[in-house]
Structure 1
């Protein structure tokens, strides 16, 4: 349970191999500024007034019902199906927040990855895999060929 450990390990391994390390996410100040400009005071009140995970999906209900301790919740949240359920909840309950925290960042990361040349290893948060894969396939195949939904397990 060391948040960000995967990024630290990736940087250490990249440095050992002499690889160029690229930070490909939107800077946090930019993201926070986008949240501030995208959301009204009522949106913020709604976030704090709504119960956490109201209208839970079956995946979320299972996660919290089987919660023995924080470690079990964290482990459960490492499942792609749970992350998808959380994102659906956020998109339904707080669409402006989901737009800034997830969708805009997915698009930005794909744009940054597309600029890189050669072999690339990207370390991204689980919550961005679906969006990055979808956007990557959309730009790879264009509108002429719809992408196949990806359902890789992690």
Structure 2
């Protein structure tokens, strides 16, 4: 049995009645709340954590320039992370990810997904794709690992970026 978007209290109550084998929470470099409770619970109980939104609706893929204008009907336009000061902070953070990606000869998306899958307790990163090329790109996140120095640079860039105003993408 798998569940999605459960907090630890819900996991405990459900797991006591029917053992859970997989949990599906949102998780990415900017939304890390589950590191404090859900991921430790999963590790303790031997439950798989299959996280979604590792690329945060494409934001962390690093392809949108600072002056990007959303097309009418693009649902991302409603999220604060794509506007104003939050957008500029995210772009500053992405500049560091772009530098790391260049060092690794990888794309920003590959760096982000690689970082995600190496987080303690994460079993899988569920990445959406609209094109076959995106699936191929995501596959390039496997089979290698960021160095300790690169991971430290990511953490430092995150600290400089600060907490997002809206902690959830929804």
TM bin (shorter chain): under 0.3
Larger Rg: 1
Which structure carries more helix by proportion?
1
Name the structure where strand makes up a greater proportion of residues: 2
Query: Structure 2-normalised TM-score?
Result: 0.25
Provide TM-score, normalisation by structure 1.
0.26
